[in-house]
Amino acid sequence: MSEDQQAQDQAQDQGLDGPQDSTRRTLFKAIGAAGVATAGAGLLPGCGPRIEKEQSNLGFAEIPHLLDHNHHVPNEYTTDLLLRWGDPLDAFAGAFVPETLTPAEQGRRFGYNNDFIAFMPLDDTAGPGEGDRHCQSHNSERGLLCVNHEYTQPHLMFPGYPDEDAANRSASAEQVAIEQQACGHSVVEIEKTASGWQPIQGSPYNRRISLTTAMNAVGPAAGDERLKTSADPSGSRIFGTVGNCAGGKTPWGTVLIAEEGFGGAFQGDPDDVADEREARNHHAFGIAKNNRNWGDYDRRFDVSVEPNEPNRFGWMVEYDPYDPNATPRKLTGLGRFEHEGFTLVSKPGQQIAAYGGDDDEHQFVYRFVSNNVYLPGESAHNRALLTEGTLYAGQFNEDGNGRWLPLVFGQGQLTEENGFRNQADVLIDCRRAAKLLGATPMDRPEDVETNPVNDCTYVMLTKNKKREAGDENAANPRARNTTGHVLEIVPPGLFGKRDHTSDTFQWNTFLLGGNPNAEDPRERGAYGQQQPGNISAHGWFANPDNVAFDPKGNMWIATDGCESFDFHDGLWAMATEGELRAAPKHFFGCPEGAEICGPEFTPDGKTLFVSVQHPADGRHSSYDTPMHRWPDNDPALPPRPSVLAIRRLDGGEVGS
């Protein structure tokens, strides 16, 4: 730790405005005025230096930027092809034959477009309802892989289906029913064997969650008028989940599933909805007449038939993977928007803090703080933590300070005069509430996750082509942001004891995506304090989406959009502290057309799971004439979204 960092930490700890703080404000003012693309990048120290030497220990040989039909890892690594769309989960499902797929069969097989991954360890001595004991086992050789399936692509799933550009509304009743089973989530028991990771077909833990799975809404919006439909007068019994992007997990052994792009599942003209407020609400989530045609067959997906059904989506869902019969719960207290995910900071004896992003242009970063404290081992107590608390929206000020603004009915502008009847309205119309409070509109917030080693929180902002010149702010410094950036949130307090429940924080720009040598300053990358020459030709990337931290606290960023810069999406790893802070090294590359999601380490850091989503997605690529057929390369099979397990050949920690 440098003396300056120590002074800053001590000043924060004592609630003082130390000398480092005033320097920092001056810097941000100067940067704001200059408005240059490198604003703020790396000018400030990170959180904790105690792991500096270890964190820089990313010894792998970097792979190149490529764009071909394979996936790529460094030489010393191997990949297990663990789960593909259509792989059988129950004991009776046979080999996958996509031409004869039925809805019932899809409901027993791994779903489409895998996204978020949670690895939940299994402890042989613990049973259902003992998730905390399973988690505490840290078993890194057997566990439950809990995987989201974000959305379906009928033109790549069904033989003879029209090209995506030609027809988006051509699905038959049977195809829609298959799609509704291919969305959602899978739980699959997996084990590490001498020949690599394998799924256990027929495990009693294996489960599919889809659009027909019954769920309960809990929290302040459950049972509200705006959640009631003709099929559910209670307003709290909801079938299914959709748009399942990233998520989170809890130390008491539950998994969180995000509902992101749910609007695309609904058809009908919002202007046909009599209630003006609901019409505005539906427009804001992209519900439109020409969306896909699920509503032709499943009438609740037509807003002219069931105007309240969309209000039952756009939530975070929590479920217990260790109990295959557990009913998932939609946690309305975490707000309704296009959730990327929600990740927890859980410290024994303290309130839970959870961070999430709303992945749309000019939307907000959120934080939830539980009313009650986390008590390890007190399962029943802990399971209520995410249902009682306060949701906040982030305000990132020009001077590098920030505030969390509470979304509470009756406070500030969240009143009846402004059209809010109650707390349910504040949560259902979260975007409108956060905007009224003055939250900072961001460049598409994706994952927001806390580094468990240095205790700082990192916000992935993927891009925002809609930000116009003159509309920049210090936290989103580039107009027409095509390459994205990453912010670092520093809550008050010392390393390891930072207060994630505080209403204030400091923030800085950790990196700006893009090539550090780009001619166009708007696309020029800036990586912390690194000089452009420190970043290799393959070390730069764009469009950060998901993020994970290895046991040493190194950051692993997954991208979605690098093909715009003529190379594959993939993974880049970097330290968050020390000399190599924000200096990325390229670790993994996708086959063409795919983005990478999920990255998830086993507790021992020796396996890294990744989701390869929508391989061979591209113009005029279809089931019949795909761009390629990764991963099987079998003329009888289309390209298949798949989960890979990456290991070092010598069994060591990934990245070391």
Residues that bind ligand FEO (CB under 6 A): 150, 245, 260, 340, 359, 446, 545
> Interface with Ca ion includes 600 (CB under 5 A)?
no
Identify any residues that bridge with 526 across adjacent strands, giving them in sequence order.
512
Q: Are strands 389-396 and 339-345 parallel, antiparallel or unpaired?
A: unpaired
Chain centroid to Cα 320, Å, comes to 19
Among Ca ion, ligand FEO, none, residue 63 binds (CB under 5-8 Å by kind): none
In the chain the first and final C-alpha atoms are separated, in Å, by 23
- Dist CA 516 CA 525 (whole Å): 4
Nearer to Ca ion, 130 or 560 (CB): 560
CB of 260 to ligand FEO, least distance (A): 5
- Dist CA 368 CA 356 (whole Å): 8
Strands, sheet with 595-601, edge to edge from the N-terminal-most edge strand: 77-84, 642-648, 607-613, 595-601
Nearer to Ca ion, 560 or 617 (CB): 560
Task: Report the residue count for the chain.
Answer: 656
Among ligand FEO, Ca ion, none, residue 455 binds (CB under 5-8 Å by kind): none
User: Phi, psi at residue 38, to the nearest 5°?
Assistant: -90, 15
> Interface with Ca ion includes 560 (CB under 5 A)?
yes
Nearer to ligand FEO, 477 or 561 (CB): 561
Residue 103: partners with Cβ closer than 8 Å, 6 or more residues away: 174, 177, 178, 180, 181
Nearer to ligand FEO, 306 or 340 (CB): 340
CB of 210 to ligand FEO, least distance (A): 18
Chain centroid to Cα 643, Å, comes to 16
Among Ca ion, ligand FEO, none, residue 260 binds (CB under 5-8 Å by kind): ligand FEO
Query: Which residue do the tokens 């109650």 mark?
Result: 422
Q: Of residues 234-263, which lie at the interface with Ca ion (CB under 5 A)?
A: 245
Nearer to Ca ion, 43 or 590 (CB): 590
> Interface with Ca ion includes 123 (CB under 5 A)?
no
DSSP result, 482-512: SS-EEEEEE-SSSTT---TT-SEEEEEEEEE
- Position closest to Ca ion via CB: 560
CB of 340 to ligand FEO, least distance (A): 5
CA distances (Å), origin 130, targets 156, 206, 215, 399, 574:
40, 17, 21, 46, 35
CB of 447 to Ca ion, least distance (A): 7
CB of 598 to ligand FEO, least distance (A): 11
Nearer to ligand FEO, 356 or 528 (CB): 356
Among Ca ion, ligand FEO, none, residue 150 binds (CB under 5-8 Å by kind): ligand FEO
Nearer to Ca ion, 545 or 550 (CB): 545
CB of 77 to ligand FEO, least distance (A): 26
Other CB atoms within 10 Å distance of the CB of residue 178:
24
- Dist CA 21 CA 31 (whole Å): 15
Q: Which of 298, 443, 545, 577 binds Ca ion (CB under 5 A)?
A: 545
Among ligand FEO, Ca ion, none, residue 278 binds (CB under 5-8 Å by kind): none
CB of 585 to Ca ion, least distance (A): 22
| Residue among 599, 594, 598, 578 nearest 655 (CA) | 599
Nearer to ligand FEO, 21 or 150 (CB): 150
Instruction: Count the residues of the shown chain that bind Ca ion, applying the rule CB under 5 A.
Output: 3
CB of 559 to Ca ion, least distance (A): 9
Kindly tell me the sign of the dihedral angle through the C-alpha atoms of 654, 539, 525, 483: negative
CB of 340 to Ca ion, least distance (A): 6
Residue 13: partners with Cβ closer than 8 Å, 6 or more residues away: 492, 493, 494, 497
Nearer to Ca ion, 545 or 653 (CB): 545
- List residues near Ca ion by CB under 5 A: 245, 545, 560
